[in-house]
Amino acid sequence: MASWALGLLLLAFAWNGQEIQAQDCGMAPLNMRVVGGASSSEGSWPWLASLHIGSAGIPRFHTCGGTLLNQQWVLTAAHCIQSMTVGDYTVFLGRQTQQGPNPNEIQRSVRQILIHPSYNVSPLNGSDLALLLLDSAVQYSNYIRPVCLADSASTFNDTFCYLTGWGKQTQNANAVSNVIQRALIPVVSRAQCQRHYPSVNITAAMLCAGEPGKGICQGDSGSPLICQQNSAWIQAGVVSFGDICAKGIPDVYTRVSAHQTWIRDQVAAGGGPAEVSQIGFSTFVSGGGATGSSSSSSSTAGLRHVTLSSLLLMMALLG
């Protein structure tokens, strides 16, 4: 991931293990962002998941990001699911680095994979979403906790949000980033985004964000676009496709708020105790800058338009 502009914030909250409720989603007690850096300190993004893939005889490796919705469900991109064999996937939570010790990390196998049904009709219609049911519930901590999802009433006009993940920092990098990276990027209008993607219909179920030098790269697929509202962090989008890597064209995300009903219904149908199946949805209200108001429940010169198949760009993001 290419990222560089940061702010400074310390969120001082302490929650105890299982006591986190859906309305307490999006809290990051250890989030401290330092101006001028690209890497994130441990625990800054406690909902961030690392999805690894591998089969017999093939070492597992990071392929995509994701977000923890509750104690047993993870949200990612549908195009990250290269196999419907659940045994091919491992989900890591509380992970800071892809190599080296992660003392606050846990890992889970995947019990069930749910692909948004509209994605099978067309992968470029704004339904690039998948839900992963973990094989057992996770214990919350300051390093592992659920994200808030933007609900259907949310708006993101004139908003800056964070892209976070382990994607490559440059297209020519040999591997994904070892440490979680972040980039503060502007959400751009649908009309502006459409001008950069003449061969793709940018639908209302999509969200575009990015600017030159800041955007998605291989390994960022499925990662969240996260917006801060007061003390809570709300997920606006899931990385879908773009003109990699951070070349100046806005990247395209699946708009989470457009799929509130599907996400809620699938998780509820998955069964389990009520405290496990709850998801936190919040209304994000555009307020400019990186922060909106609270409510719960560019020039194209020199840029090449994206006329290649964006489906191929999706696959390229997998690295």
245: preceding bond cis by omega (within 30 degrees): yes
> Of 52, 62, 79, 116, which residue is the catalytic one?
79
Using alpha carbons, list the distances in angstroms from residue 313 to 33, 59, 197, 217, 308. Answer: 31, 24, 12, 10, 8
CB within 8 A of 32, min separation 6: which ones? Answer: 8, 9, 10, 41, 44
Half-sphere exposure of 265 (CA within 13 A, CB side): 5
Quick check: is 52 catalytic? no
Q: Which of 212, 198, 307 is nearest to 250 (CA)?
A: 212
Strands 206-209 and 181-188: antiparallel
Quick check: is 79 catalytic? yes
Look at the alpha carbons of 172, 177, 181, 186 in this order and tell me if their dihedral is positive or negative. Answer: positive
| Burial category of 144 from C-beta neighbours within 10 Å (exposed 0-12, middle 13-18, buried 19 and up) | buried
CA distance 103 to 195: 46
CA distance 206 to 310: 14
DSSP 309: -
Q: How many CB atoms lie within 10 A of CB 199?
A: 11
CA distance 168 to 188: 23
CA distance 160 to 131: 26
> Of 40, 221, 240, 310, which residue is the catalytic one?
221
> Of 40, 62, 127, 128, which residue is the catalytic one?
128
Quick check: is 282 catalytic? no
Tokens of 25: 């989603």
Q: How many CB atoms lie within 10 A of CB 92?
A: 19
Contact criterion met (CB below 8 Å) for 1 and 220: yes
Catalytic positions: 79, 128, 221
